[in-house]
């Protein structure tokens, strides 16, 4: 059995619980702060770390063409079963290199990274940002969330600042737009002091 990809530890084992937890939060509520940044349909959207497929399905229902990247097989197969849609193409790939995806030479109007970036260490984040920037169409944007707070047992996560992320993005021609900070919308995480920063990075 192959070793899990860095950052995915624990997700396969907890997949049933994670499906119940994530699918209980409607995508529009989870992304309320950035609804105005989602382009009109049809557009090409990339969801990296697509998890249960909740967001990918929401985008596809709007009429977007979606590639959903998810490296954890239990999550990816479960999401495909839960959200069958001709508007979603599922891809087994992972950060920081996104090797399979980049071979296609495509760009996207919107790249989403929801609860993903904190799984990369500093060296991986520096390596990943140029790849992400190259996936963004011009004009286009990346929307990502940064997690702050205690790390759950058995998970690989790192504290990541908005300042570091913006500095990496600006080197690649990505301009930050207004930042939203809020407590976690999951009750247990909120009680444990978990909060999130949302960044919008525009290709210029």
- The model's pLDDT over 52-85, given as tens digits with 9 standing for 90+, comes to 999 999 999 999 999 999 999 999 999 999 999 9
Per DSSP, the three-state class of 99 is helix
Question: Distance between CA 102 and CA 106 in Å, rounded?
Answer: 7
User: Per-residue confidence at 204, pLDDT binned at 50, 70, 90?
Assistant: confident
What is the tally of structural domains in the chain?
1
Span 125-172, pLDDT tens digits: 999 999 999 999 999 999 999 999 999 888 899 999 999 999 999 999
What is the extent of the structural domain holding 151? 15-203
The first and second tokens of residue 59, run together, are 């985008």
Does any domain span residue 4?
Answer: no
Span 12-55, pLDDT tens digits: 777 778 788 889 999 999 999 999 999 999 999 999 999 999 99
Q: What is the dihedral of CA 169, 173, 174, 175, to 10 degrees?
A: 110
Q: Which residue has the higher pLDDT, 153 or 118?
A: 118
**Taking the mean position of all CA atoms in its chain, how far away is CA 48?**
5
pTM listed for this prediction: 0.91
Q: Spell 106-121 as b/e; 16+ CB within 10 A means b.
A: eebbbbbbbbbbbbbb
Per-residue pLDDT, 6: 64
User: Per-residue confidence at 2, pLDDT binned at 50, 70, 90?
Assistant: very low
Does any domain span residue 24?
Answer: yes
CATH of the domain at 159: 3.40.50.150
Tokens 């998890």 identify what position?
51
Instruction: Return the H-helix or E-strand segment holding 69.
Output: strand 65-69
Does any domain span residue 43?
Answer: yes
Supply φ then ψ for residue 145, to 5 degrees: -115, 140
- What Rg, from alpha-carbon coordinates, does the chain have? 16
Does any domain span residue 50?
Answer: yes
| Predicted confidence (pLDDT) at residue 173 exceeds the cutoff of 60 | yes
């Amino acid at each position: 059995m192959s070793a899990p990809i860095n950052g995915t530890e624990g997700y396969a084992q907890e997949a049933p619980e994670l499906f119940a937890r994530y699918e209980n939060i409607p995508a529009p509520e989870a992304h309320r702060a950035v609804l105005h940044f989602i382009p009109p349909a049809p557009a090409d959207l990339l969801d990296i770390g697509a998890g249960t497929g909740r967001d990918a399905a929401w985008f596809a229902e709007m009429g977007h063409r979606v590639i959903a990247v998810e490296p954890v097989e239990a999550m990816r197969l479960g999401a495909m079963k839960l959200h069958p849609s001709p508007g979603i193409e599922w891809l087994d790939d992972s950060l920081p290199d996104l090797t399979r995806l980049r071979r296609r030479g495509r760009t996207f109007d919107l790249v989403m990274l929801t609860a993903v970036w904190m799984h990369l260490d500093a060296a991986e984040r520096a390596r990943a940002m140029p790849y992400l920037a190259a996936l963004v169409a011009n004009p286009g944007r990346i929307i990502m969330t940064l997690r702050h707070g205690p790390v759950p047992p058995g998970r690989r996560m790192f504290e990541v600042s908005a300042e570091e992320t913006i500095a990496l993005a600006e080197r690649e021609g990505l301009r930050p737009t207004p930042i939203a900070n809020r407590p976690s919308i999951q009750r247990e995480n909120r009680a444990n002091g978990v909060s999130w920063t949302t960044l919008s990075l525009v290709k210029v």
